[in-house]
Each structure stands twice: as C-alpha cells, then as structure tokens.
C-alpha cells in the first residue's frame, strides 16, 4: 500500500494537491484562466499546498533586483487572485530547504537518459544555447522533489508539464520498489473547466509572456486601456461569424476567454453575438476581462502596500511546509542509509 496522508480524525481525509508556478516575470491571463483560477476552486475540496518555484527560475539567469521584485509581486498577485494561505499553505520554494535536499537525492535516482528526453529541456537548451546549465537539465528532479515531499495525491498540470509529472511518478515508483513504500505516486489532476488560452496575435500558439509581440498576451496587471487595445487588435479571420469552428483559431480563442470570464457556454456566446460583427464581440471580451481583473488588481495594490502581511503569509506557510516535508525527507534519508542526525 502506498502511504497516504495521516488523518487527525476519523473524517474521510481530503486528497492532497500540490502545485507550483515560477515567479519568472509577468503572470498572464493565460496563466490565470488556464491554471490559477482552477487552483482557487480546488481549495475547498482538497487539501492544497501551493508554492512559488523560485529555485526553478534560476535555471535561466536572473537580475537579482528584478528577481526579488518578480517574486514578491507574484506572491501578492496569487493572493489577490484568491489563494488563501490560512486554508492552503502558499510558500516560497527557496525558503524551505528540504526541496533542494530531496532534489539532490532524487538526482541519484534519475537517469541521464530520462532527463535527456524531456522536451522542455531540449527546447530551453536551444533557446538559451549560451547557458545550458546542469540545473536546467536536472529541473524535473527538483520538480519531483516538490511534489513527493508532500505526498501529494494529485498535481494539476498543463500539457507542458505532463512529461515532468510522468517522470516524478517513475522516480517515486522506482524509490518505493528499491526500498519500501515511501512516496505517494501522484496522479495528474485534469481540470473540468479552464482553457488553453492562445496568443491574441498567433492563436495557434499558447499565450506566453515570452512572445516577442506584447500584443499577443494580456498581463494580469495590464491597464484597462491596454487590455482593450490588445483585444481590438486580436487576430481573427475574414469570415465574420462569432461561433466556434475549425480553422477559426482566433475567434475560438476569444470565445474561450469570454466563456471563462463570464461563465457562459460557447453556444450562449454564439447566440448573443449572432448577426453582430467582430468589432462588437472584441469590445465585449475586452470589457469582460477588464471587469474580471479589476478587483484582482485592486487587491494586488492593497497587498503590495502591506508587506508585513505578505511576509507573515509566506513565513507561516514555509513553516508548515517545512514541518510536512521534513517528515518525508527523514524517512527517505533513513531508508537510504544516511546516519541519523543527533543534534
């Protein structure tokens, strides 16, 4: 039997979910609608643990001041989106030392060949040909450590992280088989809602802040005027109808965004805009997104004025995370044969 989370009482234990996001700069509307909105919803039905994966971020060179700023802003933004650290510890990975420690150990249970096959490694080493560092290569075993330290039952991941989760499962099984059941083998969590949000300029590609054309993506903190401009410039087609169909990538994407922020179905949207032009539709999408982001932006501004509160949230979360993860790390080290610490 795989170990499960200990229950403090006899009530059925909620399943545990772990997820993390890198504080590597602007968080986009794509991140929000594709992942974060879902994290917020999961908090009620699962025992969630969330992290900012800042150790992962340094696999690409960072300017120290910018990195610090991005980290605190990402933290505040996620709280503004609705992560409640009272319910779900939300910590900063570099502040919980067990992550780096287990990652080293797992490196020794991960094969060079496995890591060489990771498509993200191949892509990133092409993109950063001048800095193909060992961290970039070993990034998936750090990610496995993040997940396995908390005995997570499930991990919500997008398509780009599926291969890494698969590897985490393999590492967990390998370790459990070599010693005895130690790690919960995590399943992917597939969200019922949420969408893959595409670039507004090239709707065949995922919305990404690394897109050179800033009109392709909406940042969570973009000003209303800029948001509206970007939607008005969004690439569509020459056919003219607002409905989902193959080949209408731009319109399909805008409909997807509109559905996510209004809760409407694609059919309702097609009805609403029957006989209406793209101009009118784009304005409606822009307005709906602006109204969705407005309260988040307001909360973000308030939180950034309250650094003591932010510090309290990430510190208390790190303490909880350290407590939980230390239990796993101790077990692992004992099984491997490290001498116990006597201090």
Q: Point out the catalytic residue in the list 124, 230, 248, 282.
A: 124
Q: Please identify, using beta-carbon distances, which residue of 70 and 161 lies nearer to ligand TRP.
A: 161
Stretch that binds ligand TRP, among 12-20, 187-195, 203-211, 273-281 (CB under 6 A): 12-20
What CA–CA distance (Å, rounded) separates 332 from 3?
13
Please report how close the Cβ of residue 92 comes to ligand TRP at its closest, in angstroms: 12
Stretch that binds ligand TRP, among 103-111, 153-161, 218-226, 229-237 (CB under 6 A): 153-161
By CB under 6 A, the count of residues binding ligand TRP is 13
Q: Point out the catalytic residue in the list 14, 41, 209, 229.
A: 209
Q: Which of 81, 103, 143, 251 binds ligand TRP (CB under 6 A)?
A: 143
Please report how close the Cβ of residue 93 comes to ligand TRP at its closest, in angstroms: 7
- Sequence-distant (≥ 6) Cβ neighbours of residue 24 within 8 angstroms: 57, 60, 62, 70
312 catalytic? Reply is no
- Positive or negative, the CA dihedral 108, 110, 111, 112 is negative
Q: Which residue has the tokens 């407590």?
A: 323
19 binds ligand TRP (CB under 6 A): yes
206 catalytic? Reply is yes
59 binds ligand TRP (CB under 6 A): no
42 binds ligand TRP (CB under 6 A): no
Q: Please identify, using beta-carbon distances, which residue of 31 and 252 lies nearer to ligand TRP.
A: 31
Q: What mask, x for binding ligand TRP by CB under 6 A, covers residues 155 to 194?
A: x-x---x---------------------------------
232 catalytic? Reply is no
What CA–CA distance (Å, rounded) separates 275 from 326?
61
Please report how close the Cβ of residue 53 comes to ligand TRP at its closest, in angstroms: 4
Q: Please identify, using beta-carbon distances, which residue of 21 and 185 lies nearer to ligand TRP.
A: 21
Q: Please identify, using beta-carbon distances, which residue of 156 and 216 lies nearer to ligand TRP.
A: 156
Q: Please identify, using beta-carbon distances, which residue of 143 and 322 lies nearer to ligand TRP.
A: 143
CA nearest neighbour of 185 among 143, 158, 153, 139: 153
As annotated, the active-site residues are 124, 206, 209
């Amino acid at each position: 039997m795989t170990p499960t989370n200990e229950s403090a009482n006899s009530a059925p234990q909620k399943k545990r979910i772990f997820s993390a996001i890198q504080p590597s700069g602007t968080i986009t509307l794509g991140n929000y609608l594709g992942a974060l909105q879902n994290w917020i919803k999961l908090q009620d039905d699962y025992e969630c643990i969330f992290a900012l994966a800042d150790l992962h971020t340094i696999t690409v060179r960072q300017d120290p001041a910018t990195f610090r700023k991005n980290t605190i802003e990402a933290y505040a933004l996620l709280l503004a989106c609705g992560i409640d650290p009272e319910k779900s510890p939300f910590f900063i990975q570099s502040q919980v030392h067990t992550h780096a420690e287990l990652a080293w150990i797992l490196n020794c249970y991960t094969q060079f060949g496995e890591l060489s096959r990771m498509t993200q490694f191949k892509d990133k080493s092409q993109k950063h040909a001048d800095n193909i560092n060992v961290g970039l290569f070993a990034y998936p075993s750090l990610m496995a450590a993040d997940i396995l330290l908390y005995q997570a039952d499930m991990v919500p991941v997008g398509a780009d992280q599926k291969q890494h989760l698969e590897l985490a499962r393999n590492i967990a099984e390998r370790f459990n088989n070599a010693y005895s059941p130690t790690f919960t083998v995590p399943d992917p969590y597939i969200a019922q809602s949420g969408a893959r949000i595409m670039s507004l300029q090239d709707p065949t590609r995922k919305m990404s802040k690394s897109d050179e054309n800033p009109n392709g993506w909406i940042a969570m903190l973009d000003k209303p005027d800029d948001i509206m401009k970007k939607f008005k410039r969004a690439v569509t087609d020459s056919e003219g109808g607002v409905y989902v169909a193959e080949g209408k990538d731009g319109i399909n994407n805008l409909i997807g965004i509109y559905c996510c922020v209004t809760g409407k179905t694609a059919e309702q949207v097609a009805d609403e805009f029957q006989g209406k032009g793209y101009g009118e539709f784009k304005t409606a999408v822009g307005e709906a997104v602006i109204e969705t982001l407005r309260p988040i932006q307001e909360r973000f501004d308030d939180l950034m004025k309250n650094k003591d509160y932010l510090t309290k949230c990430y510190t208390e979360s790190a303490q909880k995370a350290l407590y939980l993860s230390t239990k796993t790390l101790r077990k692992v080290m004992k099984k491997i044969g490290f001498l116990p610490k006597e201090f």
